[in-house]
Chain A
Amino acid sequence: MRASVTTGAFIFASVLAATSLFIHADSNTSVSEQDVSKVLAVSNDVAYGEYLAGECASCHATTAVSGSNVPVIQGASSEHIAQALLEYRNGIRDNSTMRNVVSALGDEEIAALAHYFAQQTK
């Protein structure tokens, strides 16, 4: 009993610590340049970004696809990628597929992805 209470308190504290790392803009408010640069500074782990980007490659082609509305993101600036992902997170962008993708991305993952994509040539 005692142990479970302690564990519960620990998990609660961990959740607080983890969520405080995220930028929490109010729903439907804009993502500022400061928000973007703060997130980009969290990680420059391009190898991690490359792994994460495997999921992106299932839907985002490297060249434009006729009839598709899925944008080419390879070679986009790190600021553009981070801004877009943060806008999905806070609801400015409302595509349900992308909002679902972003639900699994913390600031570290967004930064890693943004830096990785910026390195790719168009």
Chain B
Amino acid sequence: MKKMNRRTFNSLMGLGAASLLSPSMVMAQGKPKVVIIGGGAGGATVARYLAKDGAGAIDVTLIENSKTYTTCFFSNLYVGDVRNFDSITHSYDSLAAMDGLSVVHDMATGIDRDAKTVTVAGGAKIPYDRLVVSPGIDLIYDSVPGYSESAAEIAPHAWQGGPQTELLKAKLDALENGQNIVMVAPPNPYRCPPGPYERVSMMAHTLKTRGFTDSTITILDTKPKFSKQGLFTEGWEANYPGVVEWLPPEIHGGILNVDAAAGTVETDLDTFEGSLLNVIPAQRAGAIASTAGLTNDSGFCPIEAGSMRSTVDENVFVIGDASIAGAMPKSGFSANSQAKVAAMNIRGDLLDARVFPARYANTCWSLISPENGVKVGAQYEAGEDGKIVATSKFISQAGEEASVRSATYQESIGWYDSITSDMFGA
């Protein structure tokens, strides 16, 4: 009976007929309600764990505008022809089939923290007892002079998975030998610290595969150093000699203007021309977080280190890229890890379930060339200063044997399937 009503509800939602009076909302009265905004690595995981571990005792609603989710992680492998697009794109069907879990494909447009409701673009107000905000990042387009949302249709950022990823790939595939690539790399903090440099590696691999010996990749960085720098630099010299040039701000002197249509990036040093411009601007928490007053001056959301609970509102948890998670990088792995701590604390709040001390983990794998993987990772806990701190770390070493690098890559393959199953249940 319950299942019938939930299905009815889902089909109504599919027709855009969301309403507070829908059957499942009425049925669910009395059960505690959790609403989750954002169906990425953070939001999908917390939805699945609440449904799984709550065993139907919590009415969980996941609000996600997209019908499918293309992961940012491993999207560089698609750019490098190592994975296909389907393999990094996932549906919400398995989540939607879980007892106690409804997936609402709509855009969350507002949060009323006093009334404890979330408004979606379709007009419905969805009530919550606890809210999880996991909107990922928004791009600050004008952090790069001359860049804009419309310019991104010509010079893709591809820093949010989906159409932008495909656009970057199409532009790369359209290059001819002798045509160059220019990347503008973002300032900290941003999603996936090694990501821009893995992307450069995969684009260089594509050029190499096609025999484009006259094409180069220039990285105009907005910061003086970057994640796994020694490993990437070594890898570029070994695999793509003369192809990749990395220029920090002290060399290029600052980015003055991007002209997407002309394919130029003007700096103090010089004007760089690229048939493919990949401009990755500065980032902040997804807009819904600031609209709801959950961000601070940094543009991201402060949280309690032991629970991922917002320091602004005890009924709200913020996880993933939108949160200020201390020493943890903004990554899918971090978001997935934070989601489990948040889910446990929400069950503690609403069901009086046991709450254990928070533990977090992250590993970022990057592919330099096929079968040549490197990784960096750490374990984390809530530190005494109220921030999430690392308790131990590791990183791949320069000069590792090919067998070690291959094993690291194989590990990342297992991780990708596992984390996406952990998120989407399929």
Contact = CB atoms under 8 A, between A and B. Distances in A.
A97 B333 contact: no
B411 A97 contact: yes
A57 B336 CA distance: 10
A99 B394 contact: yes
B393 interface: yes
Interface residues of A, number: 27
A103 interface: yes
6 contacts: A59-B418, A69-B407, A70-B415, A97-B363, A100-B378, A103-B392
A28 to B, nearest CB: 19
Interface size on B, as a range, is 20 to 34
A68 B379 contact: no
A61 B361 contact: no
Interface in A9-67: 47-48, 50-52, 54-55, 57-62, 65-67
Contact of B414 (A69, A96, A104): A69
Contact of A61 (B336, B381, B418): B418
B417 A58 contact: no
A68 B419 contact: no
Contacts of A68: 410-411, 413-414, 417
Dominant SS among interface residues on chain B: helix
Contacts of A54: 49, 337, 340
Nearest to B340: A54
Contacts of B359: 52, 55, 104
Contacts of B377: 96-97, 100
B414 A65 contact: yes
Contacts of A47: 354
Given A54-B340, A58-B415, A70-B414, A103 B354 contact: no
Contacts of A100: 377-379, 392-394
A67 B378 contact: no
Interface string B371-386: 0000101110100000
Nearest to B423: A58
Contacts of B213: none
B138 interface: no
Given A70-B410, A97-B375, 8 more contacts: A47-B354, A50-B53, A60-B414, A68-B410, A70-B411, A100-B377, A103-B391, A104-B392
